[in-house]
A and B are shown apart, each in its own frame.
Chain A
Amino acid sequence: MVQFTPQPHDKPDDPGYEERLVAFEARVARGDKVEPGDWMPLDYRKQLIRLIQVHANSEICGALPEGAWIPHAPSLQRKLALVAKVQDEVGHAQLLYRAAETLGKPREELIQELIDGKAKFSNVFHYPAETWADVCVIAWLIDAAAIVNQTMMAEGSYGPYSRALKRICYEEAFHLTHGYDMCITLATGTKMQRDMLQDAVSRWWKPIMMFHGPSDKESKHTVQLMRWRIKLKTNDEQRQIFLKKYVPKMFNLGLKVPEEWDLRLDEETGKWLYNEPDWAEFISVVRGNGPVSEQRLRTRRLAHEHGLWVREALEAAAGGRPVPMPTAQRNRVAVEN
């Protein structure tokens, strides 16, 4: 992938910006992809970095609640599939950070900003996965919601992001099927299993309804993002696609949406109606005030810090840098520890 090269005159007051912008927007409107070496408005680049970074962050943070359940997965088949799924999420983060890097921001910096709480991650991973059924609901419904979003984004204007998303969508299809399979097993299982699943759905319904972001009435970024084909559908449109496809499947499994949502189908328009989520709460959660926001970031920080010696050592080994000789110090250090 070609690396980012700084492009001149990419800010609105720069000479020649307007003409370049017109040509750029015409290309995007034609459905042409933008590639790393191209001229692009600084704001386009910034918005994309922000978006891809949040997406990548969400993948590595999403690996935490599910990863914590790997030890307890209740059959060998579930265990294998869950490890593979969490592994895919780490793999997706790898692909996405790489796509963001082509816009000129190194991975180290992107990850550091997450750890420092300066970059966001998806609202859903600010909540704890309390039981095995939570893992099933995350794998089915949250991955379903994510696929709605990612399938759309894969048609977006930025080449490297779009390429990464095509592969991600392909892999998410396995996550979704596996998630559905796990939910069917619980929904057709014993009373304890059915209750466990319903509890998880009830607990997760709020974060799920918030997943696609604030309602169109409140979302500030949408208009420009859509003109630049960074985004192709509004938050509410995505939410409707998700509800249309998955609520009937949930009902079919005998699952209920908590009554306070007053979720109902408008037969005339085919739209699902519901009580609007509290978007102030959503904003607060993604800003780091969710039930387990702090633990998630703390965990990421610890993993990153604990891995530092490995990254440094392999770098040193590759660089052929002089290696300090083994000395009596070794014992001293060992004692201190």
Chain B
Amino acid sequence: MSDTQWTVYEVFHQQARGEPHVHVGSVHAPDAESGLILAKEQFGRRQACVNMWVVRADAITASAYADADIFQHGTDKSYREAFGYETTRRAREIGDSQEI
């Protein structure tokens, strides 16, 4: 049996200028241009949208869920974060009462 359901394109939409493009789903489409036209109604008929991307699903390279542990921290990485510092307490101690 031949598959006549075309190619899968992943769909990303941007709700407003300045916002990021967010993945909203995928469509079957014969080519990218018609993919956009078809995705517009399946994923843009209710929510605000100013821009839409489609990309062939097979063009995406994804990491494996089995490798999710590569994103975990083996040691304390709070030195990368603002909350990793106690400047408010320390500043008070030296008489600085302003917010940083």
Contacts and interface: CB of A to CB of B under 8 A. Distances in A.
The reply, when asked whether chain A contacts chain B directly with Cβ atoms under 8 A, is: yes
A95 interface: yes
Contacts of B62: 2, 37
Contacts of A91: 42
A52 to B, nearest CB: 15
A3 B3 contact: no
Contact of B27 (A2, A39, A94): A94
Contacts of A98: 8, 25-26
Given A1-B10, A1-B57, A37-B65, A315 B4 contact: yes
Nearest to B62: A2
Nearest to B27: A94
Contacts of A192: none
A312 B60 CA distance: 26
A317 interface: yes
A39 B65 CA distance: 9
Contacts of B5: 106-108, 311
A82 to B, nearest CB: 15
A37 B34 contact: no
Interface string A88-101: 00010011001001
Interface residues of B, number: 25
Interface string A240-271: 00000000000000000000000000000000
Given A38-B65, A314-B30, A108 B3 contact: yes
Contacts of B34: 314, 318
Interface string B22-35: 00011110110010
Contacts of A38: 65-66
A231 to B, nearest CB: 23
A76 interface: no
Nearest to A84: B45
Contacts, number: 57
A65 B35 CA distance: 29
- A interface bracket (residues with beta carbon within 8 Å of B): 20 to 34
Nearest to B60: A2
Given A91-B42, A106-B5, A317 B28 contact: no
Nearest to A107: B5
A318 B57 contact: no
A108 B1 contact: yes
A112 B5 CA distance: 12
Contacts of B26: 1, 98
Contacts of A1: 10, 25-26, 57
A25 interface: no
A107 B28 contact: yes
B53 to A, nearest CB: 15
B6 interface: yes
B94 interface: no
Interface of B: 1-8, 10, 25-28, 30-31, 34, 42, 46, 57-58, 60, 62, 64-66
Interface of A: 1-3, 35, 37-39, 91, 94-95, 98, 101, 106-109, 112, 167, 171, 308, 311-312, 314-315, 317-318
Q: Which 9 A-B pairs have the closest CB atoms?
A: A311-B4, A314-B30, A318-B31, A318-B30, A108-B3, A107-B5, A108-B5, A2-B62, A37-B65
